[in-house]
């Protein structure tokens, strides 16, 4: 028997090599990655959400409020502005700033308009003064220059005059008044002559204070043919200084 330390291999294959394990995946199929595959990108929804579809369905309210506010404002415009703000807060409108401006304009514009008229009235003296028909003036009252006045005094477009305190610079002060007694209208010249007779009479001139008598000028307001037919036949006599700037009373008892 041969003593050999190593016997021949049991088979014809080299020692140290065995049969490789079978490939677990069919040919042509890649092995799984060490990392899981990325999730597929999300797809947008086929339909918009209800919130998106109504996001701007109430924008017209804020816009309408702004337009009404620019046109002068008022309660209706303010209501639309408030509704527009509410819709924007609920997500049913996207023009909240416009609705806010509309609400502000509708609330503020009427105040600004009224304030403007008040300021103009004060500037023109329309609030602090008293506008009356010339026939309603009383002896001692002072007036501003009548609108459209001329020296004859018969071509006034308005028979109204504005009363002011005699302590303020005034155009004239009533020192006498009378009512003409003619039946039919005597014509412009007839009225003029009758008014002069009344205003330069001793009784009338006696109403002017002696201290101002030498500086006093005189004019008068007379009825027209139209007012004569309406039974307005008053003559109003006024006195004034040369520049129509007297700021005190020139009439006795006033």
Run means of pLDDT, 10 residues per run, the chain, 254 residues? 52 52 53 53 53 65 88 85 88 89 88 80 56 90 83 58 93 95 89 94 96 93 87 92 94 91
What does the pLDDT read at residue 127? 47
Boundary of a domain, candidates 73, 103, 123: 123
- Among 242, 135, 126, 222, CA closest to 250: 242
Element (H, E) at 101: helix 96-123
Total domains present in the chain: 2
What does the pLDDT read at residue 65? 87
Whether residue 90 is found in the same domain as residue 177: no
Whether residue 118 is found in the same domain as residue 192: no
Boundary of a domain, candidates 106, 123, 140: 123
Whether residue 192 is found in the same domain as residue 146: yes
Does residue 27 form part of some domain?
no
Strands (E), the chain: 130-133, 142-143, 160-164, 172-179, 217-221, 234-240
Residue 67, domain extent: 51-123
Encoded tokens for 45: 């929804």
Query: Within its chain, how far is the Cα of 248 from the centroid?
Result: 40
What does the pLDDT read at residue 196? 93
Encoded tokens for 53: 């579809």
CA distance 192 to 217: 17
Which residues make beta-bridge pairs with 235?
A: 178
Whether residue 160 is found in the same domain as residue 216: yes
């Amino acid at each position: 028997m041969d003593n050999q330390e190593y016997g021949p291999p049991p088979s014809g294959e080299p020692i140290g090599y065995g049969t490789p394990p079978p490939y677990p995946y069919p040919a042509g199929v890649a092995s799984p990655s060490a990392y899981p595959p990325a999730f597929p990108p999300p797809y947008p929804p086929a339909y918009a959400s209800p919130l998106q579809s109504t996001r701007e369905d109430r924008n017209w309210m804020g816009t309408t409020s702004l337009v009404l506010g620019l046109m002068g404002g008022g309660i209706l415009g303010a209501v639309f502005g408030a509704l527009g703000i509410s819709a924007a807060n609920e997500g049913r409108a996207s023009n909240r700033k416009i609705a806010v401006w509309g609400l502000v304009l509708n609330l503020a514009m009427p105040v600004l308009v009224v304030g403007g008229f008040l300021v103009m009235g004060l500037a023109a003296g329309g609030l602090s003064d008293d506008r009356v028909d010339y026939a309603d003036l009383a002896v001692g009252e002072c007036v501003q220059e009548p609108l459209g006045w001329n020296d004859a005094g018969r071509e006034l477009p308005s028979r109204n005059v504005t009363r002011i305190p005699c302590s303020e610079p005034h155009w004239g002060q009533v020192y006498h008044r009378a009512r003409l007694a003619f039946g039919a209208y005597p014509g412009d010249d007839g009225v003029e002559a009758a008014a002069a007779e009344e205003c330069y009479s001793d009784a009338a001139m006696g109403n002017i204070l002696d201290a101002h008598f030498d500086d006093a000028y005189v004019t008068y307001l007379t009825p027209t043919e139209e007012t004569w037919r309406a039974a307005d036949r008053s003559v109003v006599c006024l006195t004034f200084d040369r520049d129509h700037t007297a700021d005190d009373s020139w009439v006795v008892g006033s």
